[in-house]
Amino acid sequence: MKVTRPNVLVLASDVLFQHFFPSAALEKLGAATEWTRSSLREDSTELRHEISTADVLMTTWHSPFLTPDMLGTKSSVKLIAHCGGEVKSRIAESIFDYVTVTNAADPMSRGVAEMTLALVLTLVRRIPEYANEMRKGVIRTNEQVSEGETLFGRKVGIVGFGRIGRTFAQLLKPFNLELLVTDPYAQQNVAEVNNVRLVELDELVSSCSVVVLAAALTPETRHLFDKRRLGLLLDGSYLINVARGGLIDNQALVEELKSGRITAALDVTDPLEPLPENHELRKLPNIILTPHIAAGGLEMRREIGMLAVEEVVRFSNGQPPLNRVTREMLATMT
């Protein structure tokens, strides 16, 4: 059923509004809807009044957590179009039963996969170590060489084979790797299409020299990499986490890193970013830390915003959504 020029409320801070909605996106949104914006980041009487007149809500990372009470008993909201991939911590689960919710995860998965490859190559090629030597005036000659400074031919493990894991696997194709995957929800046909082998987690951890975490954080996966499992990592292996910090027991990781057995790269941490200024991880030499920026910059945010706008335009034209998130999907999402 077509809705004639729906009322859209964009929930975005001043900064994120500029990032997600450049002029082209706003022009497209304005051609199909009547839209207004709220920069409120907490529930309030004012915000509830604004929501009460909306047919569509567009949310961002700075939007308040949405509850049924905020929408009201006679809500006209039929669509929530989120600018981003993760919706679990932004919308109460019961809302999914009566409101269509969409996300825009594809641009983020590409950015995260790209960053993952960058981190893997940085570690394997020992770039931070060599850069530090150059700053200190160390002189190396071609008589000095080490083994293992290549990604080609390695056995690489991916924990979690959703959008990010699959996109990362595609980026690895030129490296002639053996790819192992652990994911209880991955189907064999998906594994075959991506030329990966499904294995149990402990087998992956104990046999791969590069282990990448791309899994959702759920009660079952919290501290999936505890002291025991971290101890299964091969000597000299590399652990990369671009998913959620809670997948790793950070204290156990600190102890493992102090032993010098492994090297790590984390774009996400637990406690959640930003990592406290004096956290022990910041002081260790065998880890690369980045501030949860794997998904990319402005280009990615503009693409996400346009995808969300396109979902709203489809709604106004009576067309089904392209990127719907159902309540059933939440169990396997971060």
**pLDDT given for residue 311 in this prediction:** 98
Shared domain for 81 and 14, answered yes or no, is: yes
Q: Are residues 175 and 283 in the same domain?
A: yes
Does 243 fall in a domain? Answer: yes
Catalytic residue, candidates 19, 244, 301, 314: 244
241/190 same-domain check: yes
157 shares its domain with 69 = no
Is 292 an annotated catalytic residue?
yes
Residue whose pair of structure tokens reads 């641009």 in the numeric block: 107
- How far apart CA 198 and CA 215 sit, in angstroms, is 14
Q: Among 273, 279, 302, 324, which one carries the catalytic annotation?
A: 273
Residue 142 inside a domain? The answer is no
Residue 172 belongs to some domain of the structure: yes
276 with 302, same domain? Answer: no
pLDDT in tens, 106-134: 999 999 999 999 999 999 999 999 999 99
Q: Are residues 194 and 273 located together in one domain of the fold?
A: yes
Give yes or no: 302 in active site. no
Residue pointed to by tokens 């059923």: 1
- Check if 46 is active-site: no
My answer on whether 217 and 323 are in the same domain is no
What's the token pair of residue 329? 């999907």
Helix (H, G, I), strand (E, B) or coil at 213: strand
Q: Are residues 218 and 278 in the same domain?
A: yes
Within 13 Å of residue 50, how many CA atoms lie on the same side as its CB? Answer: 19
Q: Which of 62, 261, 279, 292 is catalytic?
A: 292
Question: In tens digits, what is the pLDDT along the chain, a chain of 334 residues?
Answer: 555 799 999 999 999 999 999 999 999 999 999 999 999 999 999 999 999 999 999 999 999 999 999 999 999 999 999 999 999 999 999 999 999 999 999 999 999 999 999 999 999 999 999 999 999 999 998 888 888 999 999 999 999 999 999 999 999 999 999 999 999 999 999 999 999 999 999 999 999 999 999 999 999 999 999 999 999 999 999 999 999 999 999 999 999 999 999 999 999 999 888 899 999 999 999 999 999 999 989 999 999 999 999 999 999 999 999 999 999 999 888 7
Taking the C-alpha atoms of residue 248 and residue 252, their distance in angstroms, rounded to an integer, is: 8
256 and 166, same structural domain?
yes
Quickly count: other Cβ atoms within 10 Å of residue 44's Cβ: 13
pLDDT at 1: 53
**In this structure, is residue 30 part of a structural domain?**
yes
Q: Evaluate whether residue 279 is within a structural domain.
A: yes
Does residue 161 share a domain with residue 93? no
Asked whether residue 282 falls in the same domain as residue 185, the answer is yes
**297-333: b or e for each residue (b if 16 or more CB lie within 10 Å)?**
eeebbbbbbbbbbbbbbbbbeeeebebebeeeebeeb
**Geometric angle at alpha carbon 169, from 166 and 170, rounded to 5°:** 90
Q: What is the CATH number of the domain that holds 71?
A: 3.40.50.720
Domain that holds residue 82: 7-105+298-332
- The total number of structural domains that make up the chain: 2
pTM of the model: 0.92
Helix (H) or strand (E) holding 110: helix 106-124
Residue 275 lies inside a defined structural domain of this protein: yes
Q: Is 17 in contact with 37 (CB distance < 8 Å)?
A: yes
Residue 1 counted as domain residue: no
3-state SS, residue 282: helix
Specify whether 79 is located in the same domain as 161: no
Q: For residue 2, give Cα distances in angstroms to 200, 308, 314, 318, 325.
A: 48, 18, 9, 4, 21
> Does residue 38 belong to any structural domain of this protein?
yes
Long-range contacts of 254-260 (CB under 8 A, 24+ apart): 254/280, 254/281, 254/284, 255/227, 256/227, 256/230, 256/231, 257/281, 257/284, 257/286, 257/287, 258/284, 260/286
Q: Which helix (H) or strand (E) holds 81?
A: strand 79-82
